[in-house]
Amino acid sequence: MGVGIREVGPRLGPGAGAGRAPVADLEALLRGVAGGDQAAFEAVCAHAAATVFGVVRSVLRDPFQAEEVSQEVLLEVWRTAPRFQPGRGSAMAWVTTIAHRRAVDRVRSEHRSAERQQRAARHEIAYDEVAEVVEARLDRERVRRCLGSLTELQRESVTLAYYGGYTFREIAGLLGVAEGTVKTRMRDGLIRLRDCLGAGR
C-alpha cells in the first residue's frame, strides 16, 4: 500500500522486539486486532516486528527500504486482520506471507522504475507504464483523503505514535489531553482509516 505516513509499528530493525516476552497466542491477538483492539495490535507488532523485518531484509538489500516495507506490512496486518483464517495456517505464517509478498512487490517496483527511466531517456514511455504512474498517484491521493477524514486529535495521535514512537502518556502530555482520550481517539482513528482505505479498493 503506498501509504504516505511512515507506517505502523514500533521502530523496526534487527533488534526490534528484543527483550519482550513472547506472545502465547498470536491468533487470539489477531482476533483482537480484527475487532479494532489497539493494545492487541501493539502486542502483535512487538511479537512479529523482528520476524517481519528478517523476512523483508532477506529479499531487499537496502536496510532502509526493508524497514519501510516492514512498516507497510504491519499496517497491512492491521487493515486485513479480519481476513485471517486460522484453518489455512498459523498466524505467524500469515504475517510472514504478507511480508514476503510486500518485499517481492518492492523489488518488482524498483525494477519497473529503473526500466521506465531507461525507456523515458529514449522517449519510449508505453501506455501501461503511464497507467502505473497514474494508479500510484491515485493511491497516494486516497491515503491523503482518508487521513484527512480523521479528526485533528485522531490524526495527531496516530502520527505521534507511529512516526515518533511516543507512548500514550507522552502523546497525552504533548497534546494536553487525558491519556484515556488519546487511547480512544487513536483506536477510533485507526478503525476509520482502515475502513476508508478498504472501501477505496
Per residue in 1-50, pLDDT (tens digit) is 333 333 444 444 444 444 343 434 899 999 999 999 999 999 999 999 99
pLDDT for the residue 135: 64
Are the C-beta atoms of 41 and 23 separated by less than 8 Å? no
Provide Rg for the chain, Cα atoms: 18
Per residue in 105-114, pLDDT (tens digit) is 988 888 787 7
Instruction: Scan for cell 498517484, then name that residue.
Output: 137
| Helix (H), strand (E) counts: the chain | 8, 0
Task: Show the domains of the chain with their CATH numbers.
Answer: 1-125 (1.10.1740.10), 128-201 (1.10.10.10)
pLDDT < 50 positions in the chain: 1-24
Q: What proportion of the chain, given as a percentage, has pLDDT over 90?
A: 32
Chain-centre distance for alpha carbon 10 = 11
